[in-house]
Amino acid sequence: MDGRPVRPPGDRRERAMSGMTVGFVGLGEMGRGMAANLLKAGHAVRVWNRSPEPVAAMVAQGARAADGLADVFAAEVVVSMLANDEAVERLLLDPVLLAGATARVHVNTATVSVALAERAEALHAEHGIGYVAAPVLGRPPVAAAGQLDILAAGSAADLAAVEPLLAAMGRRTWHFGERPAQANTAKISANFLLACAIESMAEACSLAEANGVRPTDLVEMLTDTLFPGPVYSGYGSMVAERRYEPAGFKLPLGLKDVDLALTAGAAAHVPLPFGSVLRDAFLDALAHGDGEKDWAAVAAVARRRAGLPA
């Protein structure tokens, strides 16, 4: 990674104002904000979602309801934000769908496995469609504000073609290479580190509380000294206050990302010993009924292990 945003020649605002026809798939909490920002940037957006309510909400903002996935893939560019490998495989990697597509590029912003990214790239190439992996860092409010960090990889031509769309959805685009799987690897690595940070804060707070120190006091000190920044201040306060709802990123998605890291590590012969601990902690949290809570609720597992009250 060279640390520089992807910026093809030409004025960014002028390129965005020219407008593209965009097919958008997946209007969950993240997708709605992303699609709304594409509309605000002057792009013509046709939207598709399994449930109709989010589609109606986007139509009220100026989008057009797609007649189906074939209609989505008739747009110039497709942007998708789906939950996992299974959803991407089932909905978007249909050879019949891709064979009839006229879209130039598909931008997949989901956090998916390295193997899925490689299959998707190859299948799109068979049908003459560019494929860009562009998973994002940020929660729904960040997506709504157009301030996502976008981790992108793909051919230089494809990245240049979709740059105005990425600029409309994020504050910065980070370039990780020409193979789309490289962006997914970067995102999996980032989420793995986030999960490790949450677990370490949970254990530190449990240690402090078991010895008479208020976790909120510990986190206040840590985030003003050793660990400033949004991860420790944001998740640290959630852990210290045991505030796991409303969920910005549900616990099952955290388990999915830990599993993605373990799978990628095994494929590359990279041991991830913390990953096994994390996986068991997430499974413990799910077994105790925390599946609808934020993934910070994995901290409750550390409390139980320490014999602290729920």
Residue 40: name the closest of 135, 137, 151, 169 by CA. 169
Residue 256: name the closest of 86, 30, 137 by CA. 86
Q: What is the distance of C-alpha 182 from the center of its chain? A: 14
Those residues with Cβ within 8 angstroms of residue 260's Cβ, 6 or more apart along the chain or in another chain: 111, 112, 113, 114, 188, 191
Which of 187, 250, 256, 293 is catalytic? The answer is: 187
Looking at the DSSP bridge assignments, the partners of residue 44 are 21
Ramachandran class of 15: left when φ > 0, alpha when ψ lies in -120 to 50, beta otherwise: alpha
* Whether residue 40 lies in the annotated active site: no
Could you give the residue numbers annotated as active site? Answer: 187
